[in-house]
Amino acid sequence: MVQFTLDSYESESVEIEKEILSCRKCSLWKTRKNAVPGEGGFKKKIMFVGEAPGKREDELGRPFVGAAGKLLDELLESIGLSRKDVFITNIVKCRPPGNRDPTEYEIKQCAPYLERQIRIMKPKVICPLGRFSAGYILNMFGFTMSSISKAQGKVFETPEVVILPMYHPAAALYHGKMKVYLEKSFKVLSELISIKFEKGR
């Protein structure tokens, strides 16, 4: 297996970003303003994966910069993290019109970009946000998901990575109970960080 150094990681990341920005694999390129490859750091080896960009993300070409992004920032701060510590992206890199759900075809066409990002970053923890992301990533690592409500906040561990599905911050903004569960999930994430980083596991 190829071992990626910092230089090779950055080089591969730039190449993937270029491909995403010019991608025409599905019809979403026709209505997007900007594709959204993702952003952040990888020193903590933590990746957050949403479903698809929204209106604000499409305008700026950055992930989670609207109201849901503000909540995500607050949750990160609550456990001593910032965007510089984690990588944030989506399964689908372009905004579906009207913020509709991404289709199976759109996910199928776009997900290989995410898989390559995971391959080169080698995250220790992946936090899928929302049912589309959680379902895809759990399946990718050999798990099945009956519903996001049953999977959220639970730890799914493989020899390579820990997966911690969470409710999507956008949903939590409109449902107070989901926000409470999301806050609990971040406490679980904090515990995982303590185990995997501070104790050198």
Q: Is the pLDDT of residue 9 over 90?
A: no
Give the domain range for residue 72.
Answer: 6-195
Residue 120 forms part of a structural domain: yes
pLDDT of the residue at 43: 73
Report the pLDDT averaged over residues 34-40: 96
pLDDT tier at 197, thresholds 50, 70, 90: low
Tell me how far apart the alpha carbons of residues 97 and 85 are, in angstroms, rounded to a whole number.
Answer: 31
Residue 201 forms part of a structural domain: no
Residue 200 forms part of a structural domain: no
Residue 64 forms part of a structural domain: yes
pLDDT of the residue at 198: 60
pLDDT of the residue at 195: 80
Q: Is the pLDDT of residue 4 over 80?
A: no
Q: How many domains does the chain have?
A: 1
Report the pLDDT averaged over residues 71-79: 97
For residue 101, what is the domain's CATH number?
3.40.470.10
Residue 1 forms part of a structural domain: no
Q: Is the pLDDT of residue 163 over 80?
A: yes
Residue 68 forms part of a structural domain: yes
Residue 72 forms part of a structural domain: yes
Residue 154 forms part of a structural domain: yes
